[in-house]
């Protein structure tokens, strides 16, 4: 067929499915998003506590850059591991109650690294069906067998665990699911893996900072300590990067075998400084979490009678399932015309037929913002129904 033909055909297919993705330049940050001179209230960022704009964190990054320069200069194994990185790792481990924390440049890299370094050909990965692309992709690329279990169904995991496996078993889930906003039944899942000598890996990208005492996340909130916990810093922390929390020996193992740590430049030390400041904001962030909680309650109370499916989510992620790709895009477009930035999520990011508006609420919104969004949603839904009946 030839490379160019293959690429052109793939793009045409995407367009035909209303699944074509493109980026737009955005000049905003935080509560607002500015595009082509137009300002929108931003309901699609993962900056759940508004920390990306926090003066103390910005200041810590700047001070860090003045002290350390802007780059780490190498992988952590060479020269890229500074006292700023070490201090952050120590604080994270202590905060989350683990012996060790290891920093990664992103959650994507952390998930890939953990799965790649652990899994061998006799092993199996049992992953919640809705686990993040970074986890499922790492599992699919690994020599281990990948089996997916029904979303948030411990009984489905149990059936898989009862099957024979010549090697080791790693069960994988998210704490709060990125597209549905619901929480995993972590206690039940961990009890099952423990009973079978399997390990549990929890990716708490959307829980850490937001739920649990001091923002310690889903595992803390549900009273479990999985063998492997991944937390990411691009969401509630408002920055970027990730960490793996684990035991002493597992951390030492990853320092030998996690290629993303060995062959990749570590995060800038100034970023580690910013993350330490962000951690401190999160530890003291009860007021921000209360405010976010109020917005979630307000949104759910007002969205129940929309002609879309409101998911059973208590988190900052409040998806409204529209179903059809084109309809979801139309509603998002209508909201945009009214000054609200809401993302339409379509397959393959979400299962076929479940295109949705992925609305994210943050502590930087005001009560008034939420009320205005609800009113715009009712208008857009009404117009969508009229359009469908014509």
Toward ligand PLP, which CB reaches closer, 246 or 380?
246
Query: Which stretches of 119-268 are DSSP H helices?
Result: 133-141, 154-162, 186-195, 218-221, 248-257, 259-262
Stretch 142-181: interaction string toward ligand PLP, x if CB under 6 A: --------------------------------x---x---
Annotation marks residue 178 as catalytic: yes
Does 132 participate in binding ligand PLP (rule CB under 6 A)? yes
Residue selected from 134, 152, 315, 360 as contacting ligand PLP according to rule CB under 6 A: 134
Q: How many CB atoms lie within 10 A of CB 305?
A: 8
Does 107 participate in binding ligand PLP (rule CB under 6 A)? yes
Toward ligand PLP, which CB reaches closer, 108 or 199?
108
Query: Which stretches of 51-175 are DSSP H helices?
Result: 55-68, 83-96, 107-118, 133-141, 154-162
- Which residues are 103's β-sheet partners? 243
Going from the C-alpha of 350 to that of each of 128, 153, 322, the distances in angstroms are 14, 18, 12
Closest by CA to 346, choosing from 21, 8, 108, is: 21
Toward ligand PLP, which CB reaches closer, 128 or 227?
128
Contacting residues for 212 by C-beta, under 8 A, at least 6 apart: 218, 219, 220, 221
Does 319 participate in binding ligand PLP (rule CB under 6 A)? no
Annotation marks residue 227 as catalytic: no
Residues 206-245 that bind ligand PLP (CB under 6 A): 206, 232, 234, 242
β-strand pairing of 343-345 with 38-42: unpaired
Residues 242-271 that bind ligand PLP (CB under 6 A): 242
Rounded distance, CA 203 to CA 299, Å?
A: 26
Q: How many CB atoms lie within 10 A of CB 90?
A: 13
Which residue out of 47, 174, 182, 204 is catalytically annotated?
174
Residue nearest to ligand PLP (CB): 107
Does 189 participate in binding ligand PLP (rule CB under 6 A)? no
Positions marked catalytic: 46, 132, 174, 178, 203, 206, 235
Q: Which residues bind ligand PLP (CB under 6 A)?
A: 106-108, 111, 132, 134, 174, 178, 203, 205-206, 232, 234, 242
């Amino acid at each position: 067929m030839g490379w160019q033909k293959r690429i052109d055909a793939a793009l045409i297919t995407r367009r035909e499915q209303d699944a074509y993705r493109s980026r737009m330049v955005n000049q905003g940050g935080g509560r607002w998003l500015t595009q082509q001179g137009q300002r929108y209230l931003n309901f699609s960022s993962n900056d759940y506590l508004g920390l990306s704009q926090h003066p103390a964190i910005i200041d810590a990054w700047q001070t860090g850059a003045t002290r350390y320069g802007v780059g780490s200069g190498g992988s952590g194994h060479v020269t890229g591991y500074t006292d700023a990185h070490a201090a952050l790792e120590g604080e994270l481990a202590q905060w989350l109650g683990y012996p060790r924390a290891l920093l990664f440049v992103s959650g994507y890299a952390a998930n890939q690294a953990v799965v790649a370094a652990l899994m061998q050909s006799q092993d199996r990965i049992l992953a919640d069906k809705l686990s993040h692309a970074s986890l499922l992709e790492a599992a699919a690329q690994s020599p281990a067998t990948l089996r997916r279990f029904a979303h948030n169904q411990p009984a489905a995991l149990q059936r898989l665990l009862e099957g024979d496996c010549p090697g080791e078993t790693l069960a994988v889930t998210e704490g709060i699911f990125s597209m549905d906003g619901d929480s995993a039944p972590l206690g039940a899942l961990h009890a099952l893996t423990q009973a079978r000598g399997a390990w549990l890996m929890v990716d708490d990208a959307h829980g850490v900072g937001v739920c649990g005492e001091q923002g310690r996340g889903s595992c803390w909130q549900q009273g479990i300590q999985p063998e492997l916990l991944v937390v990411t810093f691009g969401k509630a922390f408002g920055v970027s990067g990730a960490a793996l929390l684990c035991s002493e020996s597992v951390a030492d193992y990853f320092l030998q075998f996690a290629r993303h740590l060995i062959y990749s430049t570590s995060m800038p030390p100034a970023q580690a400084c910013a993350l330490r400041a962000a951690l401190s904001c999160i530890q003291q962030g009860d007021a921000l979490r209360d405010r976010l909680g109020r917005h979630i309650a307000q949104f759910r109370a007002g969205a129940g009678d929309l002609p879309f499916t409101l998911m059973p989510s208590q988190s900052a992620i409040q998806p409204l399932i529209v179903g059809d790709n084109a309809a979801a895009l139309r509603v998002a477009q209508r909201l945009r015309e009214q000054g609200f930035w809401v993302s339409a999520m379509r397959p393959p990011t979400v299962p076929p037929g479940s295109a949705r508006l992925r609305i994210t609420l943050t502590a930087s919104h005001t009560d008034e913002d939420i009320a205005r969004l609800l009113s715009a949603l009712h208008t857009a839904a009404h117009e969508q129904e009229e359009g469908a009946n014509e």
